[in-house]
Amino acid sequence: MKVTDLTPQEFRKFKEIIKATVHFNYTSGQAFDQLKADLGYEFNIRTIQRWLAKEKGGEQSEEVKGSCRIEQTGSEEQEVELLSDKVVTLEDALRKGGVDRDRWDVERFIVNSWEVGAKGPDGRIRTSPLWQVKVWLKAKKGWDPTEFKQILAEDLRKLAPSYRVPSHDDNPYAPVLIELSIFDAHFGKLAWAPETNQDYDLKICRSRYMKAGRDLLARTSYLNPERILYVVGNDFFHCDHKGLTTNGTPQDVDGRWQKAFRVGKDCAITLAEEASQIAPVDILIVPGNHDREKAFCLGEVLAARFHHNTNITVMNDPDVYSYYRWGKVLLGFVHGDNHGSDKKRRELPQTMATDRPKDWSETVWREWHLGHFHSELEDVWHYRKVEHVRDLAVRVLPSLSSTDAWHRQSGYCSVLAAEAHIYHKERGRWGYLVHATEA
């Protein structure tokens, strides 16, 4: 039955029940639904609230003007409702309700008002506007790498500079590939010498990285290489977000991650441009366990930056396994955090054969290059060890990064170095060069 169908006597009884059972500033929809079920009447909640305001007036009217209801309707949804004479906009309601804008998005909202009567000091009824702001919220979702890629690439391509690049068509020397491998740089890492016996910060990292890259390029340029493979990644950054690795492990960091991203990005751009003056450059992004998401972002930035540079190509796939074919040479890259045991490394030949069956059948020399173990291998030669698994070599490459506090306390140490590997298109591996540095 509807309240409007009640007789005057029944309606008076209904009013007494409402005044006795409903707290003036309690606006829970569930409470009113229960009341409807108990009384067996259909009535509008807002009508009852306005009627209560007029009936009670004065002190109670002040209560309703400051009421706030926050209801969690699910793990990803929330409702915020405010009744007030001061909260009149969406932003007012979000601020008053303490809504975390980093966590919640506004799905929809309504704003309305009505007049509320209250007795003044002189006994007269005075009216004032009462505002209702109701907001439906939805939890923010994590950023979509595909959407991020489209937005970032579109914006940055508009800013990509035009390049005047040298021609590398005539090569009087052998068809040689130079692989520039500066693994595990950890831009943003912090180490303090009194604690770790080695200093390391963003400034040191930038200096070592650029010195290593330029030294290795200078020492291999006499070969007049046909192409340069510039491997960027393998924990290029020390953290993914808020001082944490991709899996949430806290790290000692030097300053803000945004600054580390900019410094690392500038180093990669500069080194790629300098390498492109020697030969066409293929940039291969290899994510690490410290920077899986941020490495992908860096790859998109580099791709947009060199959009107009025909001498530089960026390969940035989300797969943790990456491959590069050079004539009869097939190279595989994976960070190595999940390949610490002999058993796991012996699975790599099958992985390569399965992932690249055509390249596998057409190549003679096949290798995997891993990072990650720079601070866990204590033997000075261990980082250069070649583990022959059937006809495939697994190489663990060194790092320029100093030991941090956790690794120092655990007794780990490493030789600080970067390498350039040389491959002939038809005859396979020619050798490699090492750039070593002191802590």
Same domain, residue pair 134 and 51: yes
Same domain, residue pair 354 and 420: yes
Same domain, residue pair 185 and 316: yes
Q: Of 83, 115, 139, which one is at a domain's C-terminal end?
A: 139
Residue among 98, 100, 104 nearest 82 (CA):
98
Same domain, residue pair 227 and 324: yes
Residues 227 and 232: their CA atoms lie apart, in Å, by 16
Q: Which residues of 329-338 are buried (b: 16+ CB within 10 A; e: fewer)?
A: bbbbbbbbbe
Same domain, residue pair 60 and 160: no
What SS3 class is residue 156?
helix
Q: Of 139, 172, 195, which one is at a domain's C-terminal end?
A: 139
What letter does residue 223 receive in the DSSP assignment? G
Tally the residues of the chain: 439
What letter does residue 32 receive in the DSSP assignment? H
CA dihedral angle for residue 288, residue 258, residue 301, residue 206, rounded to 10 degrees:
-70
Q: Is the dihedral of CA 355, 359, 364, 365 positive or negative?
A: negative
Same domain, residue pair 180 and 292: yes
Q: Of 83, 106, 139, which one is at a domain's C-terminal end?
A: 139
CA dihedral angle for residue 349, residue 293, residue 407, residue 340, rounded to 10 degrees:
-20
Contact 218, 420 (CB under 8 A): no
Residue with tokens 């707290």: 23
- Ranges 126-135, 187-196, 221-230, most confident: 221-230
Same domain, residue pair 102 and 129: yes
More reliable by pLDDT, 310 or 373 = 310
Q: Which of 183-192, 299-308, 317-326, 376-385 has the lowest mean pLDDT?
A: 376-385
pLDDT band at 332 (very low <50, low <70, confident <90, very high): very high
- Ranges 103-117, 156-170, 177-191, most confident: 177-191
Same domain, residue pair 202 and 340: yes
Residues 15 and 22: their CA atoms lie apart, in Å, by 10
Query: What is the distance of C-alpha 352 from the center of its chain?
Result: 28
State pTM to two decimals.
0.60
Mean residue pLDDT across the chain: 77
Same domain, residue pair 199 and 317: yes
| CATH classification of the domain holding 256 | 3.60.21
Query: Can you point out the beta strands (E) in 100-240?
Result: 104-119, 125-139, 176-181, 227-233
Task: State the pLDDT at residue 345.
Answer: 76
Residue among 369, 379, 385 nearest 413 (CA):
379
Task: State the pLDDT at residue 375.
Answer: 45
361-403 pLDDT, tens digit per residue, is 999 999 989 887 654 333 222 334 455 555 788 888 888 877 7
Q: Which of 86-100, 173-187, 213-227 has the lowest mean pLDDT?
A: 86-100
Residues 250 and 42: their CA atoms lie apart, in Å, by 57
Task: Spell out the long-range contacts of 55-61 with Cβ–Cβ below 8 A and sequence spacing 24 or more.
Answer: 55/15, 55/19, 56/19, 56/24, 57/117, 57/118, 57/119, 57/125, 58/118, 58/119, 60/24, 60/25, 61/116, 61/117, 61/118
Same domain, residue pair 67 and 99: yes
Contact 245, 279 (CB under 8 A): no
- The phi, psi pair for 117, rounded to 5°, reads -95, 145
Q: Is the dihedral of CA 146, 280, 260, 384 positive or negative?
A: positive
Domain that holds residue 185: 145-436
Same domain, residue pair 248 and 388: yes
Task: State the pLDDT at residue 71.
Answer: 61
How many structural domains is the chain composed of? 2
Strand partners, 349: none
Same domain, residue pair 214 and 67: no
pLDDT band at 154 (very low <50, low <70, confident <90, very high): confident
22-56 pLDDT, tens digit per residue, is 544 444 556 666 666 777 766 666 666 666 655 55
What letter does residue 4 receive in the DSSP assignment? G
Query: What is the distance of C-alpha 135 from the center of its chain?
Result: 29
Q: Is the dihedral of CA 53, 54, 55, 61 positive or negative?
A: positive
